[in-house]
Structure 1
Amino acid sequence: MAYNSPVPMDVMGTLVKFNSQTAGREKLLRLIQYGTRMLWALMEKYSHEKEVVFRLQNLEYTFSTARKIFRFGRSLDVFYSALTAINIPDLTLRLTITLSRINSALYLLADHILWIGHAGIVDVNKDKWSALSNKFWLYSLVMNLIRDAYEIKSLLQIQVSRNYVENKEMLLLSQPRNPFSSLIQWMIYHRPVTVELIKNGCDFWIPLSNLKIVKISPVTVGLLGFISSLAGILQIINTSYKLTTS
């Protein structure tokens, strides 16, 4: 008698593959961490369950610490990947990707030192290293967003050229279209740059908030981190959603 699994094999295989990757587990922890932050912030605002809020805050801290352990040593990997990015032919991509990875490596290095300090191994200035960590993260995200803007510009130029070659510009002008609908269709068609832009756009505000450059509520920070984590998980599950340098 055959046994029918309630979970399709392709879905189960994807989950197993995702769970076997350190990056996948770290993104899942990040999703839970920011989801927990959003939850305790909402409860703190609309509920009087102080004990539950306290426990959720401790849970968020636990997931944050677990992520630091998962990432420990990754700064070296990211720095090495920055060296390989020097060979990218396109100048704009070469600069943005290389600088983004260098800053990301420095962000992770500062994060490692912070973890060592929290673990009590050595005495470190936590405020100083936390600020440095967020600054390097912010610089990395700025480079990522510049790269996203460049990718979007290149895609739009290709689309305009294609319409011109196929002599469709008059047809497009004669048929009124909903700009919002056109934008949605474009975003769906160009999924990699859309997912990358959502991820970087959401993450961008978190170090700004941590550095107190802008004032954002913990609920908003939690929501932004949750959305960017979902985008990161999607890129790991389906690599076709990742931007490539080719």
Structure 2
Amino acid sequence: MESWVRFSAQSQAKERVFRAAQYACTLLGYTLQRGGATAELLKTIKQLEAHLSLSRKLMRLGNSAEALEAAKRAIHLSDCVLRLCITVAHLNRAMYFACDNVLWAGKTGLLPQLDQNKWSQRSFRYYLFALILNLTRDAYEIRLLMERESRSISAKGSLASPSALSPGPENGEFSLGPSTPSFPALPVLTARLQRQLRLLFSVLRSNPPLLLDLLKNLCDVFIPLDKLGLYSTGPGFVGACGLASSILSILTILYPWLKLKP
């Protein structure tokens, strides 16, 4: 199994390039259709997109083994939330790849009686669940980093400024300064929201792997949502999202330090 996993890893970059080309064709076909292109040209683009999709399915043969190996590694993580999200996400990816392999056999004629629509919907359901778990993992890591950054800022602020406690004018009691009226709740909430947004931007700016993974998963999640009919966005938006996520994936392959770990 290890040799097959190594072989799958070598073909991953080519598969990402083919994926980018496939969704570029989807976006191009939608743009040409809106521009009034001829039916023959649109048919050629559709055929090229179908050939690229079939080639990608061939490249993903056996990727279930790689996903299972990744799940076996993730099950030993110390953080229980990360362990659950990453392990179950990899298991869903394994099922998605398995369904995709069956669908490839149906499209090539090896399984002529295969219900391709049924298996396509099944594979996209596994894909969607894996993406939801990936987004949950991203949100969890962002929350941890925001809490750590907030504690760091609070500690620096307490060291840089004197204590807010001051003795009372008469009896020496300590007070927290002038009392704040309770009625301006909206400005307080607005200020708190602005602080949280600044903290979020600071965390994402200082963690490029997390930012790229979040953007990639956000782009990808619209694809199964559209294919399953849960949230229809149209081929143009799907093509743009698929192309963007493919480019981000290629970046993580070209620059491994951009890949989110574990």
How much has 1:170 moved relative to structure 2?
A: 8.4
Partner in structure 2 of residue 190 of structure 1:
207
TM-score (norm 1): 0.84
AA of the residue aligned to 2:256: T
How much has 1:184 moved relative to structure 2?
A: 5.0
Q: Does 1:109 align with 2:81?
A: no
Residues 1:184 and 1:53: Cα distance change in structure 2 (over 3 Å): farther
- CA offsets, 1:54-104, max 9 Å, x none? 101111111111110111011122112212211011000000000000000
Q: Does 1:244 align with 2:261?
A: yes
How much has 1:180 moved relative to structure 2?
A: 7.5
> 1:216-231, aligned counterparts within 5 Å?
216-231=233-248
The correspondence for 2:12, drawn from 6, 9, 23, is 23
| Alpha-carbon distance between aligned partners in 2 of 1:152 and 1:180, rounded to the nearest angstrom | 12
Higher alpha-carbon Rg: 2
Residues 1:166 and 1:76: Cα distance change in structure 2 (over 3 Å): same
Q: Contact 2:146–2:199 at 8 Å: present in 1 too?
A: no
Partner in structure 1 of residue 71 of structure 2:
82
Does 66-75 or 47-56 show the bigger shift? Answer: 47-56
| Alpha-carbon distance between aligned partners in 1 of 2:103 and 2:199, rounded to the nearest angstrom | 46
> 1:97-246, aligned counterparts within 5 Å?
97-122=86-111, 123-167=113-157, 186-245=203-262
Cα RMSD between the aligned structures? 2.1
Residues 1:169 and 1:186: Cα distance change in structure 2 (over 3 Å): farther
AA of the residue aligned to 1:66: S
| Alpha-carbon distance between aligned partners in 2 of 1:169 and 1:26, rounded to the nearest angstrom | 52
Q: Contact 2:146–2:200 at 8 Å: present in 1 too?
A: no
- CA offsets, 1:216-244, max 9 Å, x none? 11000000001110111111111111111
| Alpha-carbon distance between aligned partners in 1 of 2:160 and 2:225, rounded to the nearest angstrom | 45
Unaligned runs of 5+ in 2: 1-8, 162-193
Does 47-56 or 204-213 show the bigger shift? Answer: 47-56
Residues 1:163 and 1:139: Cα distance change in structure 2 (over 3 Å): same
Unaligned runs of 5+ in 1: 1-19, 172-176
| Alpha-carbon distance between aligned partners in 2 of 1:136 and 1:186, rounded to the nearest angstrom | 30
Q: Contact 1:163–1:169 at 8 Å: present in 2 too?
A: no
Aligned residue for 1:167, secondary structure, equals: helix
How much has 1:182 moved relative to structure 2?
A: 7.0
Q: Contact 1:106–1:136 at 8 Å: present in 2 too?
A: yes
AA of the residue aligned to 1:235: T
Q: Percent same amino acid among aligned pairs?
A: 31
How much has 1:167 moved relative to structure 2?
A: 1.8
How much has 1:48 moved relative to structure 2?
A: 2.9
Aligned residue for 2:77, secondary structure, equals: coil
